[in-house]
Amino acid sequence: MDVDKIKIYEENHSYWQYKGKPILLRGASDEDNLFQWTDETLIEHLDLLLSVGGNYVRNTMSDRDPGNVYAFKQINDNLYDLNQWNDEYWQRLEFFLKETKSRDIIIQLTLWDQHDLNAWATHPWNPKCNVNIDERTLQNSDAFFQTVTTGNTEVLNYQNQYIDKLLSMTLEYDHILYNINNESWAGIDWENYWAKKIHAAVDERNESVEITTMHMYPASSVRACLHYRNLYSFIDISQINQDSKGQKGQRHWDELMRYRNVVQTAGLMPLNNEKIYGSQANISPKIVTYNTSAGLKKEAIQRFWRDVFGGCASVRFHRPTDAFWGIGLSEEAMASIKSLTLLLEQLDVFQCTPNNGLLNDRNENEAYCMANIGDQYAVYFPEDGSVELDHWIYGESMNLMWLNIDEQKWLEAESVKVEWETVEHEYKFKGRVRLTTPGSGSWVALLSM
């Protein structure tokens, strides 16, 4: 199973491979804890994602939404036994694992999320709601995430029991990436403890596993994963994709390039984006409001494409639109995923690197380039624009195809002339191919020698 499983691409460590072939992960979903969905609800959502070329979902082991079930058996009104499992919880997880596996949809699975315990008063982990933990041992939800540092072995034993059960199921599958904590503020000792536990479990099986941990700020995620490379093999920089903790427009790209350059210097690792924030505005006759932390839908779509052209290994639209955090598996999200799938059929992205230095006469946030110099060049235009491409390799013409992102279709290929600037005693000094979008909206220009 280790040969076929999701792991770092052997020929380019910026990307993943699955079943021995390189893969760019792209997705969207209307829930973060999809394992809690059952039967046709889950099946229809996965099939819809698959129909537009999606192959990637996020799954937090969360239980805080209406209709969710807990991992532990309820023995009385709001009273649970942590030594007994709720079979339905684990049956839902098994169903989710099987259905994603059968569709080759990669899961990024998050073990812990502090937000889950916001409903502490009624949660099974609260000593008042179970028959196992002494109230003096665990006084609040913050203490739950401090068991490693405080040496709270009583609660830590139950936490280990839960993770053991989880891993006994997930390690039977080869399509899972692991994330220790979502937007973690639990501390690196907590995160490293669980990362070591996963590694120990796979070591017993003579297998390998890919793990990360996500902090609230993207720079912190990068630093933690670089420092503990013996534990973490990829970096999730999702928090770069929102207004409050990240950036937008040109600054989003610049920040992404900063992280990429740091990682490249230290040794390439995949950069994942399991959450791309930004949603629609709430418009009334006189007031326009939106989630100022997440940002707007237009920016979410641009972030998706900038992440791709920035050499990231995964992109996924976050949450459904009614939560005002993301656009979920909406029509707009599906349009971008389908267009990206069309692009990947023509562009060998795994041989390309981000290179805006090939673009001249470019305005801020006007265009973004990735290229395999001498072979293929792709230029993303968030909106209509016009730039010059210098492809650096001698030639009199190039093949050009335009992809209309909004309409998910290619225009007919054409040959374009390369204009060369010469100077005395030099053969050819600079090449120019003028790229002007064929119409309004978002476009990708794909050029080949």
Element (H, E) at 410: strand 409-410
Per-residue pLDDT tens digits for 177-198: 999 999 998 999 999 999 999 9
* Summary mean pLDDT of the chain: 95
Per-residue pLDDT tens digits for 343-385: 999 999 999 999 999 999 999 999 999 999 999 999 999 999 9
What b/e readout covers 107-139, taking b as 16+ CB neighbours within 10 angstroms? bbbbbbbbebbeeeeebbbbbebbebbeeeebe
Question: How high is the pLDDT of residue 322?
Answer: 67
Determine if the pTM surpasses 0.85: yes
Spatial separation of the C-alpha atoms in residues 177 and 360, rounded to whole Å: 39
Per-residue pLDDT tens digits for 380-389: 999 999 999 9
Q: What DSSP line would sit under 200-257, residue for residue?
A: HHHHTTT----EE--BSSHHHHHHHHHHTTTT---EE-GGGGSTTTS--HHHHHHHHH
Q: How confident is the model at residue 324 (pLDDT cuts 50, 70, 90)?
A: confident
Rounded average pLDDT over 60-88: 95
Q: Is pLDDT above 80 for 285?
A: no
Cα-flanking dihedrals φ and ψ of residue 114, to 5°? Answer: -60, -30
Per-residue pLDDT tens digits for 194-248: 999 999 999 999 999 999 999 999 999 999 999 999 999 999 999 999 999 999 9
Cα-flanking dihedrals φ and ψ of residue 260, to 5°? Answer: -60, -40
Which domains occur in the chain, in start order? 7-345 (3.20.20.80), 353-448 (2.60.40)
Which two tokens mark 387?
Answer: 């730039």
The amino acid present at 412, given as its one-letter code, is: E
* Distances in whole angstroms, Cα of residue 388 to Cα of each of 196, 257, 364, 412: 50, 21, 14, 21
Please, what sign has the CA dihedral across residues 128, 132, 134, 137? negative
Q: Is pLDDT above 60 for 446?
A: yes
Q: How confident is the model at residue 97 (pLDDT cuts 50, 70, 90)?
A: very high
* Distances in whole angstroms, Cα of residue 68 to Cα of each of 58, 78, 90: 16, 14, 12
| DSSP helix, strand, coil percent of the chain (3-state; round to 5) | 35, 25, 40
Please give the torsion angle defined by the CA atoms of residues 149, 154, 157 and 161, in that order, rounded to the nearest 10 degrees. Answer: -130
Residue that is written with structure tokens 């932390």 in the block? 293
Q: How many CB atoms lie within 10 A of CB 284?
A: 7
Which two tokens mark 173?
Answer: 């599958």
